[in-house]
Amino acid sequence: YIVVPLRSQFVDMESFYETLLHEMGHSTGHPTRLNRDLAHPFGSEEYGKEELTAEFAAALAGMFFGIAEHIRTENAAYLKSWIKAIREEPKFILNVLADAMKIVKMIAGKLNISVESEETAADEAEQVA
């Protein structure tokens, strides 16, 4: 199950759907889906990387599905908190983006939305990572 607050508790529908996409992103880490390692304590680097991955997936999916037209403040805040890791290891962000694209493709597939035009970019990101 994916649990989020009621729609009425959000300031707007975009915020609701972006939060839902973020949580859907986490759900794809389950062993029967994309099998990411989710067993890390709150505050650990691995936990943070999963949060960043889910946030990027939500941002990409939101833009791809027409929910959001721009990067939201929340998306930028997640990225800002990882600037040091990205500077130290540039491949880090490519790995996160490759995982985010896998999430978007899985969610789109579950919604019967074709991502044919997006697959080339995802494949390129995976090859670099």
pLDDT number for residue 128: 55
pTM for this predicted structure: 0.80
Lowest mean pLDDT among 28-32, 74-78, 79-83, 117-121: 117-121
Residue 1 lies in a domain: no
Residue 75 lies in a domain: yes
Structural domain of residue 109, as residue ranges? 11-128
| Confidence band, pLDDT 50/70/90 cuts, at residue 89 | confident
| Confidence band, pLDDT 50/70/90 cuts, at residue 13 | very high
pLDDT surpassing 80 at residue 59:
yes
Residue 4 lies in a domain: no
SS3 65: coil
pLDDT number for residue 120: 52
Over the range 80-109, which residues count as b (16 or more CB within 10 Å of their CB) and which as e? eebeebeeeeeebbbbbbbbbbbbbbbbbe
pLDDT surpassing 70 at residue 15:
yes
Residue 3 lies in a domain: no
Residue 52 lies in a domain: yes
Our count of domains for the chain comes to 1
